[in-house]
Amino acid sequence: MELEKFDIKALVAEVARKLKEEERKGASLSSMEKELERKDKGIFEDPSEAVEAAFTTQKKFFEMSLSDRKRITDAIKGHLKKYVRELSVLAVEETGMGNVEDKVIKNTVAIDKTPSTEDLRAGVFTGDDGLTLLELSPFGVIGAITPSTNPTETVICNSIGMLAAGNAVVFSPHPGAYHASNRAVELINEAIAMAGGPKHLVVSIDHPTLKKSEVVMGHKKINLLCATGGPGLVKAVLSSGKKAIGAGAGNPPVLVDATANIEKAAKDIVDGASFDHNLPCIAEKEAIVVDEVFDYLVFNMKKHGAYEITDPQMIQKLVRLLVPEKWKPNKEFIGKSAKVILKAVGIEAPEDTRLIIMETEKDHPFVIEELMMPVLPLVRVKDAKEGIDLAVKVEHGFRHTAICHSRDIEVLTEMGHRIQTTIFVKNGPSFAGIGVGGEGYTTFTIAGPTGEGLTSASTFTRKRRCALVGGFTIR
């Protein structure tokens, strides 16, 4: 009887063991199936595998025509339009920064105003020695590092431009925004498939880390790096030994002189500085105002949702909250609303509050540092000349963005000449400089540090010459 009992127990134990083993196999198979499904959508855990996949696909893509590239980028634009709000909500929920309605505007303009193959213009030289053709060719595989401030917009904009140029792209998204970024990549791959394009033209890294980004940056099959982010990131890509495009920080000043349309300038400045809670690097970060119109500008700004703080102790309290370490903004409040920031210092602001303003000295931390918060310091100057001098100084030579409100053509000309920024907006909100209410194409990779400026499809190409000697001149 004892032996019989033992055998039954052993049998039960063996059956249980086999069942658990099957469960483990099933779970493992399910995990593998999920990973394969993610790869089909362009999302890879292994950065090296992502680069290899993009490299293989780019070779096929290179043999396709310009009309094929146009068809694919048009399909991306058409498909993504249906998901603009989803992507905007995802970005806000994941990062805790910005607001949905402004991200809808940013995603929409990235779709509608990012140039495709029409940006690729060939050139020709003819003369006594024959004919030389100048063509634009792709780099191959581009490694693109994207930010948390404009995550989906940058993925959309970069994908359209880089594919139009004939490249494949491997994204290494910001760890704080990779769910939203990778959802954009999935949707882009859906569109490419619908247009009959090859798989893995656009791929991205899942669960990104610094180590994974370093793998992408150092991979021998990455021919060009494109980084959108802070100074540290730009420095890293410039130290990679590869050709690099770096879109770095800005600290855009806005100058208002005595000739400006003050009522319009007030609205434009509030609109620009509060846009997506001041996250865009193009947004007004400090206002420099001629004394003659200073008070009237403030009066009008308050009509449009600006909340003025005049108590020096309260301003200092705000400084301790937002810049606890000198020159280092408190990340907890980057991209947060004006109401949230005011509540943190004990102020219950009106519901329509969009921007916090206060008068400061020219060397105040809020003036010198790019906060990326809806907090705008206002500095008095005696005249436009002093204002231009200060604007040039506080822009720090980033050559990013500047804004000027004036009806004096000499002031507008002098400031534009002196400040040498990539974007210079005259008599409008800052976002007019990227095509929102202003003419021209858009970009979310504004390469000041490396000099390319407003990037587009042609930025992601190599210029090649093909010379026919002694022929094909018909003069």
Axis crossing angle, helix 262-274 with helix 291-303, rounded to the nearest 10: 60
Is 157 annotated as catalytic?
no
Rounded distance, CA 41 to CA 82, Å? 18
Rounded distance, CA 423 to CA 419, Å? 10
Q: Phi then psi for 194, rounded to 5 degrees?
A: -65, -30
- Residue pair 136/457 in contact (Cβ under 8 Å)? The answer is no
* Torsion sign (Cα): 425, 431, 432, 434: positive
Catalytic one among 157, 226, 281, 404? 281
- Residue pair 358/378 in contact (Cβ under 8 Å)? The answer is yes
Tokens 């003659």 belong to residue:
292
Going by C-beta distance under 8 Å and a sequence separation of 6 or more, which residues neighbour residue 82? Answer: none
Helix (H, G, I), strand (E, B) or coil at 107: helix
398-433 burial: b if 16+ Cβ within 10 Å, else e: bbbbbbbbbeeeebbebbeeebebbbbbbbbbbbbb
Tell me which residues are annotated as active site: 281
